[in-house]
């Protein structure tokens, strides 16, 4: 496990991925869809990695595999916690659930809309679960809703009734309000208006400065050009089993 | 030795009407009921020459308890002179040679329907109550087997729930008689259809009370000096009937359980329900040497 | 199959390392047969404090039988059941006698049935249904009973103005709220939900699920929810167990089960839904 001795000057390691592979068995089609194989990289505190590759190279799939929405098929993803090193590829479901609550975030453009919870409460929730007082959490939530350009008259309304664009802003505010240690960013800027995109990028810069490690897929990488430390390219995999199987 | 020396002479019926084996069974059931206060003990319930539902349970207990030197009193809703009470009393005398009495203080055994006398019973007296329905859980659990399991578990939540419901719907507890009561902190019993006025008399009473349901074939008992606590919420006190200030129009006594007599003008007058207690008062007023016993209630308040 | 067959099986997951809390519920090797039918074939279940476990499967999969065992209503032929309860000795609950099982259930386990007739006394008041739970636990103050029934009904988003209506006078959704209020009245260690919204109108179903979510969020009640409705499970569960013919075919985080089902049966279920 200790094969990646950090350099003296480098920031502490957050994630070290080795030989990670993912493919999908489609039993009803009797087919296997290959996503990626043998992916390896390291991610340190405050580092920002851009995932590159053509459509179908498995960029989103990689993020979801690391977040464990998808189950990896081979390899390791050693995550360095305060309690020690844990392999995200093999960790128990409850451990993953715990990490998701405490230190690993996933930011996407889609909101899991929940009826009858006010926008500001939804955004404040991660802070409240982390022990912040109600008043403070709501104040912070309002600050971020404002920063992302959600109009004050919507703060106390239910996001399930919002337009797609407004929902996305609420979702981003919620996903980014609590500083995590590791953030997966799955095209968070897609279809955001200019102001909201600006707010997002400045929040990401703030988080990066605070030491949050990030790895993301961006439709327009120019948005975050100033943040990028390194790029990783994924290539479309075609493994011969007679069919042109690729992940979507 | 001849056979007639070994056997008793022929008789038309056994002493005390019930045959020896029936009385033996009764005694055993009564002992068990005393041993487990409030627990309903099943028994065979023989035929007696009155109809089921007219006091056959009480009658069988009384027949078992009597001996020729006993003194017996029978009351029906407080009255010694009702047809039913008189018939039972007369029957008891004929089959046991026991002496009849109307005076509570004089009786060894008191068989009663729906009342407990106002004069305090002593350790040497036995009260036999006739019980139509011995099962307090029947309104909430019609299945007797289930009800027995609930008693076994002391599972009285549903019974409490009926009291809760009465308070919610009526603002007060409507249960007028047969008020479910916890005996010795363990079994809830129905104290037979005595009024709420009488239930506290059973608590830590000096006498033995035997409750017997002939039709339902169940006996339960409250031994002397046993806790009998009506089920009440901590913050809703147990209430007896408002008879404390009523005066009997015949005897002039005040502060006892009364029968209400509606008058033609729409008002009511009252007479004391324990008829012989009223009679004793009248006799005393007329100058007869009558001894009045100590009562459970004094000036309408329970003596503790 | 393909050259990749060596890695066909998903990676074996490790035992928990970061989750320091002990499981609140542990069932091991649960077997049960009804005549020739093997309803449960050696099922293991683990539930951690504060999480929502969803059990999904078609009728006959054994999911409801398993839930009844969690409620100590039904006993297996073989297997153990442990609940971590404060101040309670840890023992196999299936070895308890009937009385102890009843006491444990009354004090520590809440349940909401699909059929409100199983969970409610239809001719008592709604508040009385909730109060009975408290009465069984020994509460004897009428004022406290009223207050706590009210609080519990309110938490279940039941209209307080109707608290003394009979469940038989209420709609299906409201009946489920009374069941819920009754189930949470004693702050149970475990809340069991057996198809709690099946048979309700879709809009009513959403409202009831929303109440359950809110309660879970605010009180961190540990829940086990059984449903054949994937939508319900997806809304409610943190982790999901997929059952079929008395076996657990797959379990995992809810998003993983729905986005990357491994087992053929789960894939069929998920795709049939989508």
Tell me the domains of chain B and their CATH numbers.
Answer: 20-140+144-230 (3.40.50.11310), 258-302 (no CATH)
Measured between beta carbons, the chain B residues lying within 8 angstroms of C169 are none
Specify the pLDDT at position C249.
Answer: 95
Measured between beta carbons, the chain B residues lying within 8 angstroms of C99 are 152-153
CB proximity C128 to B under 8 Å? yes
Nearest residue to C41 (alpha-carbon basis) of C265, C273, C249:
C249
Nearest residue to A63 (alpha-carbon basis) of A102, A15, A97, A27:
A15
Say how many CB pairs under 8 Å bridge A and C. 105
Specify the pLDDT at position B291.
Answer: 93
Q: What SS3 state is found at B282?
A: helix
Nearest-CB residue to C4 (from A32, A71, A72) = A32
CB proximity A131 to C under 8 Å? no
Distance, CA of C72 to CA of A88 (rounded, Å): 36
CB proximity A105 to C under 8 Å? no
Q: What angle do CA A111, A100, C54 make, to 5 degrees?
A: 75
Residues 6+ apart with CB under 8 A from C245: C38, C41, C60, C61, C62
Whether pLDDT at C133 is above 50: yes
The model's pLDDT over B118-141, given as tens digits with 9 standing for 90+, comes to 999 999 999 999 999 999 999 999
Mutation for testing the C interface, residue in A71, A78, A83 having most C CBs under 10 Å = A71
Whether pLDDT at A65 is above 50: yes
CATH numbers and ranges of domains, chain C: 49-75+95-273 (3.40.50.300)
Average pLDDT over residues C214-239: 91
Specify the pLDDT at position A27.
Answer: 85
* Cβ–Cβ below 8 Å for A27 and C2: no
Q: What SS3 state is found at C104?
A: helix
B44 by Cβ neighbours in 10 Å (0-12 / 13-18 / 19+) ranks as exposed
User: Which B-chain residues 149-168 have CB contacts (< 8 A) with chain C?
Assistant: 152-153, 155, 157-158, 160-161, 164-165, 167-168
Q: What angle do CA B208, B209, B215 make, to 5 degrees?
A: 145
Whether pLDDT at C173 is above 90: yes
Whether pLDDT at C174 is above 50: yes
Whether pLDDT at B234 is above 70: yes
The model's pLDDT over A48-58, given as tens digits with 9 standing for 90+, comes to 999 998 887 88
**Confidence grade of residue C3 (pLDDT, cut at 50, 70, 90):** very low
* Cβ–Cβ below 8 Å for C271 and A94: no
**Confidence grade of residue A115 (pLDDT, cut at 50, 70, 90):** low
**Confidence grade of residue A13 (pLDDT, cut at 50, 70, 90):** very high
**Confidence grade of residue A237 (pLDDT, cut at 50, 70, 90):** low
Distance, CA of A26 to CA of A30 (rounded, Å): 6
Distance, CA of A137 to CA of A125 (rounded, Å): 8
Q: Are strands A84-87 and A74-81 parallel, antiparallel or unpaired?
A: antiparallel
**Confidence grade of residue C122 (pLDDT, cut at 50, 70, 90):** very high
**Confidence grade of residue C10 (pLDDT, cut at 50, 70, 90):** low
The model's pLDDT over C85-116, given as tens digits with 9 standing for 90+, comes to 988 889 999 999 999 999 999 999 999 999 99
User: Which C-chain residues 106-125 have CB contacts (< 8 A) with chain B?
Assistant: 121, 124-125
Its pTM stands at: 0.88
Specify the pLDDT at position A7.
Answer: 46
Measured between beta carbons, the chain C residues lying within 8 angstroms of A23 are 4, 7
Say how many CB pairs under 8 Å bridge B and C. 45
B144 by Cβ neighbours in 10 Å (0-12 / 13-18 / 19+) ranks as middle
Nearest-CB residue to C268 (from A28, A89, A92) = A28
Average pLDDT over residues A95-107: 90
Specify the pLDDT at position A30.
Answer: 86
Average pLDDT over residues C194-215: 90
* Cβ–Cβ below 8 Å for C128 and B169: no
Highest mean pLDDT pick, A110-119, A122-131, B98-107: B98-107
State the nearest Cα–Cα gap between B144 and chain C, in angstroms: 18
CATH numbers and ranges of domains, chain A: 48-67+95-230 (3.40.50.300)
Touch A-C: 3+ C-beta pairs under 8 A: yes
Average pLDDT over residues C117-130: 96
* Structure token digits, residue C229: 């409705």
* Cβ–Cβ below 8 Å for C141 and B234: yes
Q: B17 forms bridges with which residues in the sheet? A: B14
CB proximity A73 to C under 8 Å? yes
Distance, CA of A162 to CA of A168 (rounded, Å): 9
**Confidence grade of residue A140 (pLDDT, cut at 50, 70, 90):** very high
Distance, CA of B265 to CA of B270 (rounded, Å): 14
* Cβ–Cβ below 8 Å for B161 and C99: no
The model's pLDDT over C17-49, given as tens digits with 9 standing for 90+, comes to 887 788 999 999 999 999 999 999 999 999 999
Measured between beta carbons, the chain C residues lying within 8 angstroms of B168 are 125, 127-128, 164
Using CB atoms, list chains with 3+ pairs below 8 Å to chain C.
A, B
Distances (CA, A) of C187 to A4, C107, C141: 48, 9, 18
Whether pLDDT at B92 is above 80: yes
């Amino acid at each position: 496990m200790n094969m990646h001795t950090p350099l003296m000057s480098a920031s502490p390691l957050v994630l070290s991925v080795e030989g990670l592979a993912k493919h999908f068995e489609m039993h009803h089609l009797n087919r296997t869809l290959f996503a990626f194989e043998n992916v390896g990289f390291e991610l340190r505190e405050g580092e920002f990695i851009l995932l590159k590759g053509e459509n179908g190279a498995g960029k989103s799939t990689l993020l979801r595999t690391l977040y464990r929405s998808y189950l990896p098929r081979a390899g390791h993803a050693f995550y360095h916690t305060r309690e020690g090193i844990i392999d995200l590829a093999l960790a128990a479901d409850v451990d993953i659930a715990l990490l998701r609550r405490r230190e690993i975030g996933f930011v996407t453009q889609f909101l899991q809309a929940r009826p009858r919870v006010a926008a500001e409460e939804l955004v404040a929730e991660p802070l409240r679960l982390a022990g912040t007082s109600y008043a403070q959490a709501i104040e912070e939530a309002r600050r971020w809703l404002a920063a992302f350009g959600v109009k004050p008259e919507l703060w106390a309304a239910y996001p399930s009734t919002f337009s797609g664009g407004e929902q996305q802003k609420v979702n981003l505010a919620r996903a980014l309000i609590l500083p995590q240690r590791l953030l997966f960013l799955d095209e968070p800027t897609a279809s955001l208006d200019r102001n909201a995109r600006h707010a997002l990028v400045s929040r990401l810069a703030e988080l990066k400065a605070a030491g949050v490690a990030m790895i993301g897929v961006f439709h327009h990488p120019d948005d975050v050009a100033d943040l990028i430390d390194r790029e990783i390219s994924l290539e479309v995999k075609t493994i011969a089993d007679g069919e042109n199987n690729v992940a979507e | 030795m001849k056979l007639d020396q070994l056997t008793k002479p022929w008789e038309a019926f056994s002493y005390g009407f019930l045959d020896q084996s029936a009385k033996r069974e009764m005694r055993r059931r009564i002992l068990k009921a005393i041993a487990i206060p409030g627990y309903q003990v099943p028994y065979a319930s023989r035929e007696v020459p009155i109809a089921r539902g007219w006091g056959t349970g009480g009658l069988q207990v009384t027949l078992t308890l009597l001996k020729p030197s006993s003194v017996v009193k029978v009351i029906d809703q407080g009255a010694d002179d009702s047809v039913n009470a008189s018939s039972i009393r007369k029957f008891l005398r004929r089959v046991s040679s026991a002496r009849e009495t109307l005076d509570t203080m004089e009786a060894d055994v008191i068989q009663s329907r729906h009342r407990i006398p106002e004069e305090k019973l002593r350790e040497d007296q036995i009260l036999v109550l006739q019980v139509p329905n011995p099962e307090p859980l029947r309104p909430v659990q019609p299945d007797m087997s289930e009800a027995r399991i609930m008693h076994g578990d002391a599972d009285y939540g549903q019974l409490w729930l009926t009291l809760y419901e009465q308070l919610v719907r009526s603002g007060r507890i409507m249960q007028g008689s047969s008020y479910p009561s916890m005996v010795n902190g363990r079994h809830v019993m129905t104290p037979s259809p005595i009024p709420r006025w009488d239930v506290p008399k059973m608590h830590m009473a000096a006498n033995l009370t035997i409750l017997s349901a002939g039709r339902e074939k169940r006996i339960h008992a409250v031994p002397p000096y046993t806790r009998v606590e009506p089920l009440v919420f901590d913050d809703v006190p147990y209430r007896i009937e408002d008879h404390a200030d009523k005066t009997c129009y015949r005897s002039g006594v005040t502060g006892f359980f009364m029968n209400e007599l509606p008058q033609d003008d729409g008002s009511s007058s009252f007479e004391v329900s324990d008829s012989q207690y009223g009679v004793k008062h009248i006799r005393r007023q007329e100058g007869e040497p009558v001894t009045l016993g100590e009562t459970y209630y004094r000036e309408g308040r329970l003596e503790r | 199959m393909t050259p990749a067959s060596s890695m066909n099986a998903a990676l074996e997951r490790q035992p928990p390392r970061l989750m320091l809390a002990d499981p609140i519920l542990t069932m091991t090797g649960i077997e049960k047969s009804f005549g020739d039918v093997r309803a449960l074939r050696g099922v293991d279940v683990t539930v951690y404090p504060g999480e929502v476990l969803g059990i999904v499967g078609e009728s006959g999969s054994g999911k409801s039988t398993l839930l009844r065992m969690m409620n100590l209503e039904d006993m297996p032929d073989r297997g153990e059941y442990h609940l971590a309860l404060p101040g309670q000795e840890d023992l196999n609950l299936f070895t308890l006698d009937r009385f102890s099982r009843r006491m444990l259930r009354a004090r520590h386990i809440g349940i909401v049935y699909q059929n409100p007739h199983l969970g409610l006394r239809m001719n008592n008041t709604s508040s009385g249904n909730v109060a009975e739970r408290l009465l069984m636990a020994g509460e004897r103050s009428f004022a406290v009973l009223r207050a706590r029934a009210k609080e519990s009904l309110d938490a279940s988003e039941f209209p307080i103005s109707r608290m003394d209506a009979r469940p038989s006078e209420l709609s299906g959704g409201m009946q489920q709220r009374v069941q819920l209020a009754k189930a949470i009245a004693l702050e149970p260690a475990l809340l069991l939900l057996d198809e709690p919204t099946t048979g309700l109108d879709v809009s009513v179903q959403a409202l009831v699920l929303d109440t359950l979510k809110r309660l879970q969020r605010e009180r961190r009640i540990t829940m086990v929810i059984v449903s054949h409705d994937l939508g319900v499970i997806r809304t409610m569960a943190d982790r999901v167990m997929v059952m079929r013919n008395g076996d657990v075919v797959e379990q995992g985080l809810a998003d993983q089960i729905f986005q990357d089902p491994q087992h053929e049966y789960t894939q069929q279920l998920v795709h049939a839904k989508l």
